[in-house]
Every structure is written in C-alpha cells, then in structure tokens.
Amino acid sequence: MKNLLRCVILVSALMSMGTHVAAAQIDRTQTDTTQIKRSRLTLGGYGEAVASRMFYSNNYKRYTDASLYKNASSFGQVDLPHVVFYVGYDFGRGWSVGSEIEYEHGGTESAIEIEEEETGEYEKEIERGGEVALEQFWIQKSFSGALNIRAGHIIVPVGATNAAHEPDKFFTVYRPEGENTILPCTWHETGISIWGRKGDWRYEGMLIAGLDGDRLNNKNWIHDGAGSPYEFKMASALAGAARIDNYSVDGLRLSLSGYVGNSGCNTLNASGKYADVKATVAIVAFDFLYNNHNFIARGNFDYGFLSNSLELSIANKASRKDSPSPKNNVAKNAIAMGVEAGYDFGSLMAPLHSRGQRLYLFGRYDYYDAMFKTVQNMTKEEEWGRQKITFGLNYYPIKQIVVKGEWSNRIFKSQFNNEPTVSLGICYCGMFNI
C-alpha cells in the first residue's frame, strides 16, 4: 500500500511538473508570437510645418509687368507642405505590404489659385482626384536582399529628391526647388518594379503608367503629368524608369537614374490629328550624397527632353475650355541642378555633443529652367529660368526632430524682380516597429 501511495504521489508530481512545463512552453510560445507580431507591423511617417515671410509682390502680374512691383510690400504665409502616415506589415515568407497616405499643404489636393498669366482670373487647380493622396500602396515579394519584386503604387526614384524625399534628407525648409519644379515630386505611379542590393551596388527598374500629356506646362514642365484629375490614371502608354546606386567609397553614394515614356497619346485629349503625337519624355539624372566626418554634401543634375513639344502645345491649347489642361506652351528641354553642403557645428559644442544633438549650418545653390530650350516658332518665357541661393541652419534636438531656419533669394534675369524669403520650419520623420 505504501509503495502504491508513493507511486501515486510520484505520478501526481510528474503530472504537475509536466503541466508547469507545458504552461511555460505555452507562455514562451505566446511571448515569441507576440514579439514576432510586434516586429512585423511598422508605423511611421513624416510632417512639416512652415512659416515664411516673402519680401516681394505676390501679384499675378509680377512677371508680365515687373517694373510696377519693384518696391512691393512683403507678405507672410504659413503652410503644412507634407504630412504623411505610413503603415507596413511583414506577412512572412518574403511577403510584405507598404502604404503611405499624404496630405499636401494641409488640404485635399484641390485649391484655388490666381493665374499668373493673362487676366489674373481665379482658377481651380486639381492635382489628383480624391480627397487625399495615396502616395504608396504596394505588395512585395522578397527572394533575397538582391532580388525583390514590388507591385502597386510605388515611388519613381528619378532624381535625388524622389529617392530621398523625407524632410530630414535635405537642408532647406521646402524640398529642393529645382527638382520640385520640373519633375513630379514626390513622383508616384502604379506599376511593377524589381530591385535589390548586392555588395556596394543597389539597382531598381520599373514599368509604370506614362505621364498625362495634357497636364504638361510652361512653368513646371512635366511636374503635373504624374497626377490625374480623374478617378483613374490614363495608362494607354507605359513608361520605364531605372536607378543605380553605388556605395564603394565610405560615406559616399553616387547615383544615376532615368525615365522614358510617351505622353501625347496618354491623355483623354488624344484625338483627331493629334492622336498620333507621341510627345516622348526622356530624363537623365545624376545625384550624390556624402555624409562623413560631421559634414554632409548633396547634389543633383537633371536634364529632360520632350519630343513633339510644339504639336503637344498646340493640341493642349486646342482642348476644350473646361478641360484640366493648362493650355500653354511646353518646352523641348528642361534642366535642374543644385548642390548643398553643411557642417555639424554641434559636434564642436560640448553641451550639444554630449546629448547627441546636431546643429548644421548650410548653404545651397540651385539653377533650374522649365523652358531651357524651345523649338522654333515657340516663345521662350524667360521668367521660368531661375537661380536660388539659400543659407540656413538645421538643429536636431533628437534624431527624429529637426528645426530649420533659412534665408533665400530667388534670382531672375534683369527684367524681373528677385524674390528674397525668410522661412522657419519644424519637421519630424520616424519609422517605428510595433
């Protein structure tokens, strides 16, 4: 009986121990699962708030009758250039999804503007249909670091700013003005891409919807061609884009990117004798980044070509009065170049350095022209050829926050008035694994 009792006690103890072990295993499994779930969901985004004082006229005739506004009073404005929310999830087995919803200028991407030409009439500007802009939505399959396939609504990384458009990736309060004028920025299209990195090289190639030809114009060249005022985006013509980055030198990235695609037949206005106008857009861009020894330098050079620019301009001017086309001339060539450099003087100040804070003093120069070259029988509009010099500071109290201040001067040819501006901005940029 005693032996039987001992066996019962022993079995009971073993069962109890097994229960505790099983419970511990369940708890550990739940903990591991929770950790996996936390690491798979990524939230983040970026945002900018800006206040500016412009020491020039904002009258719509300031270019056509520049002499009348030489001593104009200054004016101020506040702005929310971009507020973006990002959500991403890693499903496992190489499958992931990413999305970005963007609010531009605190609104819904429709606005009333005063037309700078002709009669100064109020004009409703629609950059993209809908109340908000869906900047990214893609599904990705990753086979390795060197091979990834992404499909959906994706960023077109042509130029320096499109590849690195977050506010902590440039010194100026607003995005660098040259690329932000002549190219879509941030440029996002629906399509498919293949990308990867192997050693010191990263590549990306994509097939996407072409630009909308009736949205090209004299002031911004192809900038508005990536948008659509409709509930859909025209894709009668497809386009290709590519980018290559090299990281062989410590702290230095060298990049080459390009784009080619037809735009004339990719519009609802493509009919009649203009139906076969290809209006091919071709872009080549070089940019670099050096970030080492408390010194940052960035630069870009972008050159664009548009075939059949005269035919496209005539077709746009002939479009219906209520069409979304600006109905003005589009240049054969556009250009943008810029360089900026800044040094972290916070690294020389013990109170800032000990807290990991940074204080960059910087300078930047831009030259850009949306009508750099025009075809014969098309008037070159000189006001769109501009230079801009900027000096300012970037203060990082923590890694994710930057306070910006700058003085800039937009410089025109002698018949126009220069446009000096003082701006202050505060930005954040962060990605968080939940």
* Spatial separation of the C-alpha atoms in residues 142 and 152, rounded to whole Å: 15
The answer to whether residue 22 sits within a structural domain is no
Please tell me the predicted confidence (pLDDT) of residue 133: 84
* Residue 330 burial class via C-beta count within 10 angstroms: exposed 0-12, middle 13-18, buried 19 and up: buried
Q: What is the pLDDT of residues 267-294, one digit of tens each?
A: 877 666 667 889 999 999 999 999 999 9
CATH number at residue 330: 2.40.160.10
Q: What is the DSSP string of 8-23?
A: HHHHHHHHHHHHHHHH
- Whether the Cβ atoms of residue 60 and residue 36 lie closer than 8 Å to each other: no
Res 395: pLDDT: 98
Residues 6 or more apart whose CB falls under 8 angstroms from that of 316 comprise 213, 214, 216, 269, 325, 326, 327, 328, 330
Q: What is the pLDDT of residue 116?
A: 59
Please choose, from the candidates 102, 104, 100, 101, the residue with its C-alpha nearest in 3D space to the C-alpha of residue 80. Answer: 104
6 vs 1: CA distance, rounded Å: 9
Domain membership of residue 224 (yes or no) is yes
Name residues whose C-beta falls within 8 Å of residue 132's C-beta, 6 or more positions apart in sequence. 101, 102, 103, 108, 109
Q: Which pTM value belongs to this model?
A: 0.85
Structural domain of 196: 41-433
Question: For residue 150, which amino acid is it?
Answer: R
Domain presence at residue 14 = no
Q: Which residues pair with 193 in a beta bridge?
A: 150, 206
Q: Which residue has the tokens 């030489």?
A: 70
- Going through 116-184 in order, the beta strands assigned E by DSSP cover 122-126, 133-144, 147-155
Instruction: Give the separation between CA 105 and CA 111, rounded to whole angstroms.
Output: 10
Tally the C-alpha atoms within 13 A of residue 8's C-alpha that lie toward its C-beta.
5
Spans of the chain below 70 pLDDT: 1-39, 107-131, 270-274, 434
Q: What stretch of H or E contains 314?
A: helix 309-317
d(CA 426, CA 48): 6
Residue 100 lies inside a defined structural domain of this protein: yes
Q: Write down the pLDDT at residue 170.
A: 98
Contact criterion met (CB below 8 Å) for 365 and 409: no
- Category of 342 on φ-ψ map: left (φ > 0), alpha (ψ -120 to 50) or beta: beta
Residues 57, 72: contact at Cβ < 8 Å?
yes
pLDDT of 250 reads 97
Q: Are strands 147-155 and 188-198 parallel, antiparallel or unpaired?
A: antiparallel
Is there a domain that residue 36 lies in?
no
- Ramachandran quadrant class, 223 (left: phi over 0; alpha: psi -120 to 50; beta: rest): alpha
Asked whether residue 24 is assigned to any structural domain, the reply reads no
Q: How many domains in the chain? A: 1
In a domain, 20, yes or no: no
The answer to whether residue 5 sits within a structural domain is: no
